[in-house]
Structure 1
Amino acid sequence: MPDPRATEQRKITLGEGNRKKLQKFQREQEKAKVIKAACALLNSGGGVIQLEMANDNKYPVEMGLDLEESLRTLIQSLNLQDFFMTKQEGKCYYIFVKSWSSDPFPEGISFKPRICSLSSSLYCRSGTSVLLMDSRQAFSFLKNKKMKAKTFGQEHPAKVVKAIRQDSCNSHFAYQFFQKDHLEYGEIVPFPESQVIEFKQFSTKHIQEYVKNIIPEYVSAFANAEGGILFIGVEDKTKKVLGCAKEKVDCDSLKKKIENTLYKLPCVHFCQSQCQIDFTVKILDVLAKGELCGYACVIEVKPFCGAVFSEAPKSWIVKDKLICSLATQDWVNMMLDTDPGKMEKTPSLGPPLSRPVYSKKGLEHKKALQQKLFPVLPGHLKYTPKSLWRELSSQNEGLEELIDKEIFPFSQGILIFSRSWAVDLSLKEKQAVICDALLVTENSPPILYTILREQDADERSYCTHIALTLKQKLVNMGGYTGYLCVMAKILHLSPESNSEFLEDSGSWIDYPSSYYLANIQQMEALLQSLVIVLLGFRSFLSDQLGCEVLNLLTVQQYQIFSNNLRNYRELFIHGLPGSGKTVLAIKIMEKIRNEFHCEADEILYICENQPLKNFISNKKICRAVTRKTFMKSDFQKIQHIVIDEAQNFRTEDGDWYEKAKTITQRDKDCPGILWIFLDYFQTNHMESSGLPALSAQYPRKRLTKVVRNADQIAEYLKKELQEVIKNPPPNIPRGSLQMLLEAEWDQGVLGTLNVKKNLTSSQIVTYVTDECKLLFEKGYSSKDVAVLVSTMSDMDFYRLELLRAMRKKIRVVQFADANDMSGDHIVLDSVRRFSGLERNIVFGIHPKTVDSALLHTILVCLVSRANQQLHILWH
């Protein structure tokens, strides 16, 4: 079982005959353990359930029909082999669990829910019946509720009564009946059960508990539809009022019990009202010939704008090696984890914890990236990357012979080397590790080799942790949907130490053949998931959409990112506009933290502008400051520095480059990292930047693949880049501009480019207002839009005029500067202060400059900020 804390909890009786001999409560208790573990593993990337058999059987036994049926119910499939395989070894019985995925069933069913659940705990009304929704029905219900939330939430204060009145020709009597304050014993209710009316009789024992147990299902069903009334104390077949004897009921206590039960029902909102369930509880006297003989209960439930559950959904995941119930809101969020659109998604559907992975049209998708980075050649076993393999084998005598010996039995696949797979997986590096190598080969599960010089005290736990993390990321991040385990194996260069598989990794289990990669197609599918693990990063789009979205690095970005940091303590990265410099800077800081065991406050990010500094600060991966703050402060704790948009730095406060270099070289034996990102094409001043001469910027890498802008915007950007080359500002080294000759422009993303000239200020305000109105009607939000001007005085003028115009034509719109990029508002700021940031839609208003030599570099900066639409408006 995944929870290893109590051995006795693992004991399960197996075999059909053995299970029939169990008492019912014991059989249900054991079944619950298995179901919880299976559901948790299905929702958490798969795994193995190890059961200790409570019964003594000399020969292998079957699981038991009740367990099999429960597992089928869990996956909503007749074929257990879709997700489960079993094996018995002595007293141990193993259930191998594949990760759940929402790809279609083999039988062709077009939809599967995003997660597995034993019960949705959502009820609906069907005629006079109350039905529990299965996962598919729950998904459709929640999706429809979410779509209708804006118009559904606040408009039905009397809808229950209206529904009752319209239900049948006798609805008038039902309405009058509801208004009574007492009923007659034995009288016949003058209307039948219906979609909005239910009759129930009191239980003869434990009345409060009975009422508490039946109410949640009916309230959930009524609240999730058009509301309804539950009469308790009316026999459903005869429609006679019987009530409950007065001696058995404490009216105040019963009413309080009911109300407390309803207030505690889990509910999820899809609107901003956050209202509670709207209900009324009435305890009615039941009279016999004018004398009180008992009580009836009437509960009126109004329709709810969101979803009402009878209890929390029965669904589990694994967290920190423990099985945990999913909270109701988390369950709904996972069920509705749908495609946010606007870009091309790399994997279609996948495991429950996997996030959407998108690549912009024109960029390589995961298959193309895999073919470039990790190709599998028929009949060939490839070592990659070659440069790292050569470096490792030359530095470590005996490594080549050791590796060749280990992989001798395998003839087809790929062996992927890394200085540290731990760092690649965003874990802390272990200094004793020479290298790691992942073998993806035919007729074997993936094997992760960890090579150490000699034996180490905690090598087992370290290596199994890396293997398990890789396996989980391949499924939960990479979207791999097959049976998967990653075998961990330690190799030692020391001849006194022998290589060994690790028992803690699960390598000791004899996995079924389904875990073995059978052919090139299966190897490539796994390697494409690996591409997402290694090249994926949290997209800036995530903040706009309110859900986690991943993008993929380009091959060029990944090649720089995967460099050995110890070989590149100082590095200059020249990147064309839109080539992803800031993205790469973020990834490098994450890598520094793991490779050098740094805390966030030991890594310093420096930029020129406050908005970009705030944007990076919110990532909480480093300490971020502007250049001015850097020059005024002392940074004793800082070990590593990453500088962004360095072309716009100045020397007015001192030699920033010399200060940064001094800080990172304080430890002569182990200097820190100093990486500097810059783009001379976006220089926005005429002063000295403080950068070393171009010839002294060594080592130097280039990012020449432009990935941000739609086709029309990219074409305009090319023209402006050529203008910069023709007339560069005097403070830009001409040799730096030659990288434009190497530029790669990805095509295939349609966008909008509008350049309007000779407009008055009033016409500009009208144009921006009308365009925003159209954009919002098409589903764009304020978070998509930036309005960029030239000066602070322009900002003040256009903020006032645009607010005035938009309030007449559009819903309430807010403006704010770029210091807060995550708020639900239109950004209004200067082109210079928006450097390093981006928005889908950009309006550039008269991007003039005092120095005419900077006109085209300012235009380059403006144009490159827009992803999909660019509107340049000139006076």
Structure 2
Amino acid sequence: MKPEACFSFRRSNVGESSFPRTNMEKHNSSLVEDLSHPDLVFNIGKVTLGERNRNKMQKTQREQERVNILQAACALLNSGGGVIQMEMANEDEQPVEIGLDLEEALRELIQSSDLQAFFEFKYQGKCFYIFVKSWSSAPSPEDSSPKPRICSLSSSLRRRSGTSVILMKSREAFDFLVTRKKSVKCSLSHEGLSQSKIPRAVHQNVFESDLAFKLFQSDRLKYDDILPFPESQSVEFKQFSTKNIQKYVKSLIPEYIPAFANSGGGYLFVGVEDQSRKVLGCAKDQVDCASLETAIADAVSKLPIVHFCSSEAQLSYRTKVIDVFHGEDLYGYCFAIKVEPFCCVVFSEAPISWMVNDRKTIYSLTAEKWVDMMMYSPGSWMVNDRKNIYSPTTKKWVDMTDADPDLLCLSKDFESQLNLSSASPLSRPVYSKKGLEHKEDLQRILFSVPRENLRYTPESVWKELFSQHEGLKALISQQMHPFSQGILIFSRSWAVDLDLREKQEVICDALLIALNSPPTLYTVLRDQDAEGQAYCTQTAFTLKQKLVNMGGYTGKVCVMTKVLYLSPRSKSETTEGSGCLVDYPSSYYLRDTQQMEALLQALVIVLLGFRSFLSDQLGCEILNLLTVQQYEILSTNLRKNRHWFVHGLPGSGKTVMAMKIMEKIRNMFHCEKNNILYICENQPLKNFIGNKQICEAVTRKTFMKKEDFKDIQHIIVDEAQNFRKEDGDWYGKAIAITQREKEHPGNLWIFLDYFQTSHLDVSGLPPLSSQYPREELTRVVRNADQIALYLKKLMKNIKKNPPRNIPRRSLEMLPEAEWVRDVQGILKIQKNLTQTQIVNFVADTCKGLFEKGYTFKDIAVLVSTTEEVNDYKYDLLRAMRKKRMVQFCDASGVLSDHIVLDSVRRFSGLERNIVFGIHSKTAEPPILNNILACLASRAKQQLYILFCDNFYKEPQPEMG
């Protein structure tokens, strides 16, 4: 994919669909972004407003102002919304309207007559403001059909309609892209279908096409002859109407060549009068045929093309120079271009659409990026056995072969939390594990809105803050006095909550969501601070953008800022400041409980959303949501307690929490990657986390061998139950590193699960009584019902008869265990199998899985020890080859498109949809239940356990 064209706000190419880009590029706007405001604000300079005033302007100046406003509006619509600021050039009066041409241009941009759906207008001082809501593809009241996923001034897509060329509007372009993509799929499903066999347009006249082809094949024509066929769907006549022949013909290419290519092919004859069909040609002394053909080739090569197929074929066309004779003398030439039907999509130029990048640059979308965003699949689809997809829109199951490939990322085990069909263009899919709380439930648990009064939350945070900072309670109460209903959400740092860097001078932040008020972020500082307002503004800006682009909030929204100072010299002395540029219209205020809850549900996604491990497998970003239990642990005050133990049951999300804690440490303590160390027992998990680029990652053995950890300040230990003291006291070394700076000790977080202990040695962990403070993760979120029930039985056996190296009290968390319900899966246990039977079972089952649509990257085959990997590898390869399927890797390749074949221990901390577990006599009986628990917890959907003999009577899952 080609990179997008980027340029700064201060000097930008602008464009609008009603005139060619070549004209637009003559105008340079000055879009200056105001970084002192908690929103995207474009200052486009002086603009003449009012219908009467604008009618007096020169056409070029009026056009330039219109284009500047449209560019800013388009970029804001696609990037979460914001504000357009302009200074009124006509200072002598306050116009009652902005001007009919500007209103019509904005209506055309949003493809709706209802300007207030996306725009609000306001005068303040000497400036005029347009408040822009984020784009939404939800249908408008006047039109029940959905809008395109992205706002555009022009699609730059053309098609033939009779004898005309039609520039498709965005909605028509979307339908065209969907139809073309489906036709490509159908074509690919027919073996051996080549581009030349793609059907032409339905309305094409075969007789006329044959005559056109004969004309294209001819070598000479007579001047003034009348051709025996007219213009049609596949034929266009043009005469030479200018002396600059080369420039004229080049100008025809972007209009007619893509239109023919997108409409089944056709012919462009230049040198024929369109009405009379007379052959007029071009005088020979006015054109250089070779130069003209070169110019045509150059123009065609610049046409953007986008493929839905894998052919990467270029646009196919031929040019022909036909001699035109006047009597017996050569008068000149007629030029002909034969365009073949294109397999996918040809544009005249890149679509005219903009977005904002990192608050500093505005960039125009390439054709590829534009198509990607236009075709992005609306959410809330479900997959059934990898064969069919259920559409909630049509309430029907659709065969997967007819579905968009992006829909395959929606596993049947997850439920959508965000309707992308009405969300902003930058929104990503958000899913929670089936059976877990939806965002509505999470909002009621964490941020419930009282029926009356104002509620402070979380209680533990605000009580601690009020006790630590005298005068803070009075200050907050004073600020909250005007508000009658809502919720005030405290945080030690909202910046850290939003993945920004903490400002240490901040006492706390509080987000107000209240009735008849816009959302407001309060920042409380100890003393006057020149950077305090900038911190609050940046935090509020990030929150607003995430509420829209991540949380999927579709209403009009802003986040106001207020900076408060609590002076230690005088408890009652407070000052305040605001970074707001302009008062927002009343439509940006929260008017009822329903609006407040909708905004808080978006906030739930912002705070609890994390990048799913599925994203790495699927190649597109998917968000999952933390559980309430996980979120509460993540909200821990890292400055108050630096040393934590987290005990988590199998499948409770310990590794996810480890990653989130590292991200929080990075932002709270201004750390770099080389200041945070992640330690685990096995190399594959170390590689998996190391690839995230958020920390240094090592195995426990490497940690003990290496002496140079001078840059490390914080340590995260994962899967600690499988650590050993064979190479020394790893725990003591970790303590020494994190506490060597007595004034500013680092953080040490240790994640473990005694139920998954896979050895009988001394782990090196401190006694259970010394593992304090301690948190517990008791909600299992990974495994399907049958697998979870089997895990429960295994853990009961472990608790009843634990290995000697596991403290009995550590297993008392089992009664608190919860499992996600109603997630269907498969559990099969086979006993007394020979190695040949095991290999054949795995190969046959995989063959059936692949026929259902599963791939290599869904499957892991795990054996008891690393020595047994080679025992099974060659037999499995042989059996798989017979069925034409073979791709294996060890656990380090868990993200690759291969079947993982490795030991249970080396796969610890990782997961796959389907797991085959092979167990033989080599497994140690005292910890076999633990190893089976580790094995079972790795499987999300299907688990097959295969025993070589009957030396062990495995527990059976509880039913019901």
Question: Do the aligned partners of 1:434 and 1:452 also contact (CA within 8 Å) in 2?
Answer: yes
Over 3 Å counting, the alpha-carbon distance change for 1:435 and 1:174 in structure 2 is same
- Match for residue 783 of structure 1? 857
Quick one: which of 35, 45, 49 aligns to 2:70?
35
Measure the CA separation in 2 of the matches of 1:659 and 1:65.
Answer: 73
- Match for residue 172 of structure 2? 137
- Match for residue 101 of structure 2? 66
Q: Which moved more, 1:68-77 or 1:671-680?
A: 68-77
Over 3 Å counting, the alpha-carbon distance change for 1:170 and 1:122 in structure 2 is closer
- Match for residue 414 of structure 1? 487
- 1:765 counterpart = 2:794: no
Deviation (angstroms), 1:160: 7.5
The residue matched to 1:95 in structure 2 has which SS? strand
Deviation (angstroms), 1:35: 0.5
- 1:720 counterpart = 2:758: no
- Match for residue 361 of structure 2? 322
Over 3 Å counting, the alpha-carbon distance change for 1:46 and 1:780 in structure 2 is same
Over 3 Å counting, the alpha-carbon distance change for 1:160 and 1:659 in structure 2 is closer
Q: Which amino acid aligns with 1:229?
A: Y
Q: Tell me, which stretches of 5 or more residues in structure 1 are unaligned?
A: none
Over 3 Å counting, the alpha-carbon distance change for 1:126 and 1:416 in structure 2 is same
Question: Do the aligned partners of 2:842 and 2:916 also contact (CA within 8 Å) in 1?
Answer: yes
- Match for residue 641 of structure 1? 715
Measure the CA separation in 2 of the matches of 1:325 and 1:248.
Answer: 38
Measure the CA separation in 2 of the matches of 1:236 and 1:814.
Answer: 61
Alpha-carbon displacement from aligned partner over 1:465-502 (angstroms, at most 9, x marks no partner):
11111111111111111111111101011259653342
- 1:826 counterpart = 2:882: no
Q: Which amino acid aligns with 1:735?
A: R
The residue matched to 1:500 in structure 2 has which SS? strand
The residue matched to 1:565 in structure 2 has which SS? coil
Deviation (angstroms), 1:72: 1.2
Deviation (angstroms), 1:522: 0.8
Question: Do the aligned partners of 1:152 and 1:305 also contact (CA within 8 Å) in 2?
Answer: no
- 1:733 counterpart = 2:807: yes
Over 3 Å counting, the alpha-carbon distance change for 1:757 and 1:550 in structure 2 is same
Measure the CA separation in 2 of the matches of 1:589 and 1:165.
Answer: 62
Question: Do the aligned partners of 2:187 and 2:198 also contact (CA within 8 Å) in 1?
Answer: no
- Match for residue 448 of structure 2? 375
Question: Do the aligned partners of 1:416 and 1:437 also contact (CA within 8 Å) in 2?
Answer: yes
- Match for residue 23 of structure 2? none
Q: Which amino acid aligns with 1:70?
A: A
The residue matched to 2:905 in structure 1 has which SS? coil
TM-score, length of structure 1 as denominator length: 0.95
Deviation (angstroms), 1:754: 2.5
Q: Which amino acid aligns with 1:737?
A: L
Q: Which amino acid aligns with 2:417?
A: T
Measure the CA separation in 1 of the matches of 2:203 and 2:373.
Answer: 38
Measure the CA separation in 2 of the matches of 1:73 and 1:780.
Answer: 45
TM-score, length of structure 2 as denominator length: 0.87
Question: Do the aligned partners of 1:159 and 1:227 also contact (CA within 8 Å) in 2?
Answer: no
- 1:198 counterpart = 2:227: no
Measure the CA separation in 1 of the matches of 2:462 and 2:882.
Answer: 66
Measure the CA separation in 1 of the matches of 2:266 and 2:109.
Answer: 31
Alpha-carbon displacement from aligned partner over 1:675-696 (angstroms, at most 9, x marks no partner):
0000111111111111111111
Query: After superposition, where does 1:93-492 map in structure 2 within 5 Å?
Result: 93-107=128-142, 109-149=144-184, 152=187, 155-159=193-197, 167-319=205-357, 320-338=359-377, 339=379, 340=407, 341-342=410-411, 343-349=414-420, 350-492=423-565
Deviation (angstroms), 1:793: 4.7
Measure the CA separation in 2 of the matches of 1:490 and 1:704.
Answer: 40
Q: Which amino acid aligns with 2:234?
A: V
Quick one: which of 499, 510, 525 aligns to 2:575?
499
Question: Do the aligned partners of 2:226 and 2:278 also contact (CA within 8 Å) in 1?
Answer: yes
Measure the CA separation in 2 of the matches of 1:108 and 1:57.
Answer: 40
Measure the CA separation in 1 of the matches of 2:618 and 2:586.
Answer: 41
Q: Which moved more, 1:828-837 or 1:363-372?
A: 828-837
- Match for residue 55 of structure 2? 20
Over 3 Å counting, the alpha-carbon distance change for 1:17 and 1:529 in structure 2 is same
The residue matched to 1:856 in structure 2 has which SS? helix
Q: Which moved more, 1:609-618 or 1:140-149?
A: 140-149
Question: Do the aligned partners of 2:864 and 2:923 also contact (CA within 8 Å) in 1?
Answer: no
Alpha-carbon displacement from aligned partner over 1:105-157 (angstroms, at most 9, x marks no partner):
23462422211111111222333332222222322333344445456478334
Over 3 Å counting, the alpha-carbon distance change for 1:508 and 1:768 in structure 2 is same
Q: Which amino acid aligns with 1:94?
A: Y
Deviation (angstroms), 1:700: 0.5
Measure the CA separation in 1 of the matches of 2:791 and 2:915.
Answer: 14
Question: Do the aligned partners of 2:781 and 2:820 also contact (CA within 8 Å) in 1?
Answer: yes
Question: Do the aligned partners of 1:467 and 1:488 also contact (CA within 8 Å) in 2?
Answer: yes
Measure the CA separation in 1 of the matches of 2:722 and 2:456.
Answer: 42
Alpha-carbon displacement from aligned partner over 1:249-299 (angstroms, at most 9, x marks no partner):
221221111111111222222233333222223333323334332222222
Deviation (angstroms), 1:8: 9.1
Deviation (angstroms), 1:761: 3.5
The residue matched to 1:723 in structure 2 has which SS? helix
Query: After superposition, where does 1:640-719 map in structure 2 within 5 Å?
Result: 640-719=714-793
Q: Which moved more, 1:626-635 or 1:8-17?
A: 8-17
Over 3 Å counting, the alpha-carbon distance change for 1:767 and 1:192 in structure 2 is farther
Over 3 Å counting, the alpha-carbon distance change for 1:135 and 1:806 in structure 2 is farther
Measure the CA separation in 1 of the matches of 2:699 and 2:802.
Answer: 26
Identical amino acids, percent of aligned pairs: 64
Q: Which moved more, 1:476-485 or 1:302-311?
A: 302-311
Deviation (angstroms), 1:662: 0.6
The residue matched to 2:463 in structure 1 has which SS? helix
- Match for residue 624 of structure 2? 551
Deviation (angstroms), 1:652: 1.2
Deviation (angstroms), 1:828: 2.1
- Match for residue 3 of structure 1? 32
Q: Which amino acid aligns with 2:946?
A: L
Question: Do the aligned partners of 1:501 and 1:508 also contact (CA within 8 Å) in 2?
Answer: no
Question: Do the aligned partners of 1:3 and 1:322 also contact (CA within 8 Å) in 2?
Answer: no
Measure the CA separation in 2 of the matches of 1:691 and 1:758.
Answer: 38
Deviation (angstroms), 1:668: 0.4
Q: Which moved more, 1:271-280 or 1:254-263?
A: 271-280
Question: Do the aligned partners of 2:42 and 2:84 also contact (CA within 8 Å) in 1?
Answer: no
Q: In angstroms, what is the RMSD of aligned CA positions? A: 2.3
- Match for residue 25 of structure 2? none
Deviation (angstroms), 1:323: 2.5
Quick one: which of 854, 874, 879 aligns to 1:800?
874
Question: Do the aligned partners of 2:565 and 2:576 also contact (CA within 8 Å) in 1?
Answer: no
Deviation (angstroms), 1:872: 2.3
Over 3 Å counting, the alpha-carbon distance change for 1:285 and 1:871 in structure 2 is farther
Deviation (angstroms), 1:780: 2.8
The residue matched to 1:499 in structure 2 has which SS? strand
Over 3 Å counting, the alpha-carbon distance change for 1:767 and 1:126 in structure 2 is farther
Question: Do the aligned partners of 1:2 and 1:323 also contact (CA within 8 Å) in 2?
Answer: no
Alpha-carbon displacement from aligned partner over 1:745-774 (angstroms, at most 9, x marks no partner):
111222222223334434433433343333
- 1:56 counterpart = 2:91: yes
The number of residues matched between the two structures is 871
Question: Do the aligned partners of 1:708 and 1:864 also contact (CA within 8 Å) in 2?
Answer: yes
- Match for residue 611 of structure 1? 684
Q: Which amino acid aligns with 1:776?
A: F
Measure the CA separation in 2 of the matches of 1:653 and 1:245.
Answer: 91
- 1:510 counterpart = 2:583: yes
Measure the CA separation in 2 of the matches of 1:7 and 1:659.
Answer: 54
Over 3 Å counting, the alpha-carbon distance change for 1:672 and 1:165 in structure 2 is closer
Q: Which moved more, 1:833-842 or 1:124-133?
A: 124-133
